[in-house]
Amino acid sequence: MRYEIIFHGRGGQGAVTAAEIMAYAAILSGLYAQAFPEFGAERRGAPVKAYFRVDDKEPIYERNPVERPDMIAVLDEGLILRLHPPIYTNLKSNGWIIINSSRDPEKLRDVVERKDVKIAVVNATSIALELFKRPIVNTTIIGALMKVFNVIPMENIEKAIRSKFQKDVAEINIKAIKKGYENTVVIE
């Protein structure tokens, strides 16, 4: 099974770190994985993409950008609302869109012009502001992603977080993941 995810965000939101955490957690789970970023202008607020691939059977050698993802994780809903063509254009049929939004999840279903995909929505910004006092939404989005992505055990996500951050920072990020998971609304 090969699974590919694109994280869409803006510089400073943690899209690249989210992909790296997912890859390390996958490796801890005995899977093959890779994560790598794609930047335009490297500045806070500029659009950023990070790619994550996981495979349970064979090593991953290609380094090209993901073109037909199984899932996209949107750290800034403005990227869904303003980019043309839409960032979900090449999403596989029956794929998932994970969206950070304060909007009513049913209204987002109307915004996404494809009815052959599934949507999960979490107000990651609100959770991040509550926990971090800053809109760094990556670990909350990981929690939302884990709600629908049953490939990597949560305990390995936690191990990856603990290896990436110091103790206090790790624990608050784990809390963000759990809150993201609990507060995600799934629309199929």
Q: What is the CATH classification number for the domain harbouring 130?
A: 3.40.920.10
Contact criterion met (CB below 8 Å) for 51 and 29: no
Question: What does the block give as tokens for 120?
Answer: 């999960």
The residue that leads in pLDDT, 136 or 86, is: 136
Total domain count for the chain?
1
Banded model confidence at residue 42, pLDDT cuts 50, 70, 90 = low
The whole-number pLDDT of residue 80 equals 83
- Tally of CB atoms within 10 A around 52: 25
Question: What does the block give as tokens for 138?
Answer: 């990556």
The whole-number pLDDT of residue 144 equals 97
Location of structure tokens 């099974």: 1
Banded model confidence at residue 83, pLDDT cuts 50, 70, 90 = low
pTM beyond 0.75 = yes
Mean pLDDT, the chain, rounded, equals: 93
Give residue 178's domain range: 2-187
Q: Which amino acid is at 149?
A: F
